[in-house]
Amino acid sequence: MSLQHIISSEELDIITIYDIIKNQKKLKLSEESESKIRACKFYLDNRLVKDKNPMYGINTGFGSLYNVKISDKDLTILQENLVMSHACGTGDRVPESIVKIMLLLKIQSLSYGRSGVQLETVNRLIEFFNNDVFPFVFTQGSLGASGDLAPLAHLALPLLGKGKVVHNESIYEANDILKKFNWKPIKLEAKEGLALLNGTQFMSAYGIYLLIHSHKASYLADIIACISLDAFDGRLDPFHDLVHSVRPHPGQRKVARRFNELLKGSEIIEQEKEHVQDPYSFRCIPQVHGATKDTLDFVEKVIMTEINAVTDNPNIFHEEDLIISGGNFHGQPLALALDYLKIAMAEIGNISERRVFQLVSGLRGLPAFLVDNPGLNSGFMIPQYTAASIVSANKQLATPASVDSIVSSNGQEDHVSMGANAATQAYTLIKNVERVIAIELMNASQALEFRRPLTTSPLLETFLEQYRTYVPFIKVDQVLHDDIEASIQFLKDFEIEIEELFINNYGVEKH
């Protein structure tokens, strides 16, 4: 396997990005990409010599200062001032895993030769990526419209020897890290600051990270819901393929088929049932989990289009002798997709908590709160409270960020996407979903023990055997926080290759 990825005109996809990050592959520009970058820069330099008319962001001010013409001798100062003045993010630091994806996506966007940057600038970003030099980027400050201005300004600051970075878990002043690697600060030229700051790489990087985690959570939610169904002595009839053939949403059909596969050989599912119907949280799992899978498919298509696009402004078309100021930095496609992702993943948590509620309610032969001697022992009463609290918080986080807009830059930037807020909300929300399904696993595995000596399917018994190395059967009251945290850790540690996730979630390989 090659430990290098060549940046070229070939489109990035989520599996490629996962492979680059997981296997710590180094980046290198293809000859084609280098040629495009050089040609665009050559055209821009010549255009500046020949054409003294104002060109937005190249020899003018920014935002509502678009009419202020800047002299040629001040163009470097203009671009460096832009980066410094826009580096006003605040809040928490963006996780390094997401900053690394931001670097990759910014490099990819600049490689198309539509941005007018120096080859040296792109190669320095590649050196940051290859040497795990991660600029301090902050979660708050982007309106998701003129690009992710504040986050991308912080991403660009170390090119100038300013700001802070993390390298090998140590914090450095940017100027010190440049000296460590014997790099000189980049002297930005016309348009470069704007090319670095305009773009949607903050939102997109979060989107990539969250898609990967959502795919895994969606897959694990199916497995855990299977265990809950058996623990609740549920029926398999609602998962019959004929039911879903007459309403053939792809995700719905996939979930129903998966349940039949996972529960094959279960003594519990095959035993005669006293009840003729299950609550919706069990009976409608294919419809709810499946709709989320279909949403993930849609969100992925939006994000894949975005990361293989040029999202700065203005765009340079040197073959046509045109420099055009447009709005490709506007994050509306991502804002809507990330809001949709939030809603879809929140529903995985919502229905999971309802199954937890059913399991602890003393129904179908299970003891109240899944413990012997209830009363003396509170058992699993309060983990359901915890799940309910998290689910309620997610309902608030799932409120669409994209329906909001605040005028900025003296009214020049009068509609913004708020996609960056959607991205950071989605990050918190999906971490919450991982916690809720971990609580369901803890409850379902506990409930299943009260069905012994009957067993669930061999596949699920193997899964539970692995889980029991983290969390044992609980006989009497103890500090359940520790068991919840151990359950969360088990799901984090549970390994499945992303190619398998796509096959398991969609039934097809994705490229």
- Annotated catalytic residue: which of 56, 66, 112, 470? 56
- Rg for the chain, CA atoms, rounded: 26
Domains in the chain with CATH codes:
4-199 (1.10.275.10), 206-318+326-506 (1.20.200.10)
Query: What angle is formed at CA 110 by the lines to CA 305 and CA 324, rounded to 5 degrees?
Result: 80
| pLDDT one-digit tens code per residue, 286-314 | 999 999 999 999 999 999 999 999 999 89
Average model confidence (pLDDT) for the chain?
93
- CA 153-157-159 angle, 5° bins: 125
pLDDT, one tens digit per residue, over 180-235 is 999 999 999 989 999 999 999 999 999 999 999 999 999 999 999 999 999 999 99
Q: Which long-range contacts (CB under 8 A, 24 or more apart) does 391-395 make?
A: 391/346, 391/349, 391/350, 391/353, 391/432, 391/436, 393/432, 394/346, 394/349, 394/350, 394/429, 394/432, 394/433, 395/346, 395/350
| 56 carries an active-site annotation | yes
- Please give the pLDDT value at position 63: 64
Task: Tell me the whole-structure pTM to 2 decimals.
Answer: 0.95
| pLDDT for position 481 | 96
HEC per residue, 332-357 = HHHHHHHHHHHHHHHHHHHHHHHHHH
Whole-number Å distance between alpha carbons of 392 and 354? 12
**pLDDT < 50 regions, the chain:** 508-511
Query: What pLDDT is recorded for position 78?
Result: 85
Residue (of 96, 107, 98, 158) closest to 132 by Cα position = 96
